[in-house]
Amino acid sequence: MDLSRGVAATVHHVLPPDTNHLGALFGGVAVAWMDLTAGLASMRLCKHTTVTAAIERVDFQIPIWGGDVAVVEARVVSVGRTSMRVKVDMYRENLQTEEKTLCTSGIFHMVALDENRKVTPVFPEEG
Ligand SMILES: CC(C)(COP(=O)(O)OP(=O)(O)OC[C@H]1O[C@@H](n2cnc3c(N)ncnc32)[C@H](O)[C@@H]1OP(=O)(O)O)[C@@H](O)C(=O)NCCC(=O)NCCS
């Protein structure tokens, strides 16, 4: 099963509306950016709209601060009949050195929908 198209990345500048009272990226905003990127990865793979069925787990390991550049990378890691598990990692990128530090990671479950918003196989030939 070729999952290589099931990848996506988004880049975000962390600005004041997205930070909490400590000046760090607000967790809910981080999850929204991760959800968005997981959706893109899953839609690229199945060529359909997808919706988020579940967020299995999100670990916030290192804060991302206001002014930082956040890079979110998503990759479909397994496929059911109509659902996909997407691993999502969020990094802080140092613009000078281009070094990326893993800050947050999670697993998102996305489900493929057809034009009638009914669940549909990820790979129709196998559905
Ligand atoms: C997700 C949703 C489409 C599933 O619909 P459903 O009628 O339960 O569909 P099914 O029971 O046929 O399940 C479809 C697939 O989703 C998976 N799934 C459903 N609920 C799940 C959950 N909570 N966690 C993980 N996978 C789930 C099923 O295992 C199945 O996977 P498979 O086909 O690969 O085996 C439906 O619950 C829904 O529309 N939820 C709201 C989605 C939403 O609004 N998301 C936020 C905005 S994007």
32 lines ligand 1 (CB under 6 A): no
The pTM (predicted TM-score) of the whole model is 0.96
* Side chain identity, residue 65: W
Please count the other Cβ atoms lying within 10 Å of the Cβ belonging to residue 63.
17
Choose among 72, 81, 57: nearest CA to 1.
Answer: 81
- Cβ contact 61:102 at 8 Å: yes
The pLDDT of residue 125 is 79
The arithmetic mean of pLDDT across residues 88-103, rounded, is 96
The arithmetic mean of pLDDT across residues 33-42, rounded, is 98
- Cβ contact 122:45 at 8 Å: yes
How far apart CA 54 and CA 49 sit, in angstroms, is 16
Mutation test of ligand 1: which of 119, 122, 123 has the most ligand atoms closer than 8 Å to its C-beta?
119
* Cα-to-centroid distance, 115 and ligand 1 (Å): 16
The arithmetic mean of pLDDT across residues 1-6, rounded, is 95
Mean pLDDT of the chain: 96
The pLDDT of residue 124 is 85
42 lines ligand 1 (CB under 6 A): no
The arithmetic mean of pLDDT across residues 63-67, rounded, is 97
Give the ligand 1 atom nearest the CA of 35.
Answer: 48
Q: Would you report the helix, strand and coil content of the chain in percent, each value rounded to 5?
A: 20, 45, 30
- Cα 98–Cα 104–Cα 107 angle in degrees, nearest 5: 125
Cross-strand partners of 57: 107
In the chain, what are the domains?
7-117 (3.10.129.10)
